[in-house]
Amino acid sequence: MPRIEVFSDFDGTISLGDTGCILIDSGMGEEARKEMDERIMRHELTFRDAMDIWWSSVNLTLEEGLELIRPVEIDPGFLQFYAFIQSHNIPFSMLSCGLDILIEQYMAWHMGEAEAKKMVVLANYAKVEGHKWIVTYRDDSPHSHDKSVSIKDSKQKFKQEIMDRQIEKEQAGETKEEREEEHVIVFCGDGVSDLSAAREADVLFARKDRGLESYCRTHKIPFLAFETFDEVTELIQGLQDGSLTMGEINRRQEEECQREA
């Protein structure tokens, strides 16, 4: 059984609507924001520079902002998916270029405050002073939060564990060879903020009819299109019970990125 770790974007992936876009559109308007999205996809503008412009346009109190995002639905399969991976001790981290104060409240609405606090949420930091939204980015990258870093760190940690075990065996005089443990990184995303993570995952789920799916098709990045987290749960179950291999999953991902939109 492989060791599986799951990372996921929040806005537009776990939440069906993008909480950040809802607030930004209230300031600069949807059309202007989407034009900047296209420039990011064409690598004409960094996500971080866009974030500076976007959040400076928002003119809401925190209470008004939360009221706007309150109706946003959660992916219908996410809570069941999360319960499944928790019961199987599969590590899960939420990687977001969104704002911690929005994500934490949103998840508390849907799973309760106590359970929401247990989640690993790596996002940008924000505070609201009056009607001014002040954002502190998680890192200095052009992404505002380079999601690939967490995935690379996980891969490196796994490699180090393998090396440490091998050294321990050699020191103990053990000669029996064991099958090398497989490490599988699953990432779920939907849009422009997920581009850095897309190339690092072993299994990439891109929400159907969103920017990440289009980007992966254009740049021939292997992926699986998905509609709900039920599909993610099914794949992980298959890896665990042996009914799915990474060879088969890679074949499906290659086929998907070659398919015409």
E strands, 67-193, in order: 92-99, 120-129, 132-136, 183-189
Burial of 180 (0-12, 13-18, 19+ CB in 10 A): exposed
Say which of 9, 18, 194, 202 is annotated catalytic: 9
**Is 100 a residue of the active site?**
no
- Please measure the distance between the N-terminal and C-terminal CA atoms of the chain and give it in whole angstroms: 34
Question: 174: burial class by Cβ within 10 Å (0-12, 13-18, 19+)?
Answer: exposed
Q: Is 37 a catalytic residue?
A: no
The Cβ-side half-sphere exposure at 102, using a 13 Å CA radius, reads 33
* 244 close to 238: Cβ distance less than 8 angstroms: yes
Inter-axis angle of helices 100-111 and 62-69, nearest 10: 50
Catalogue the active-site residues: 9, 11
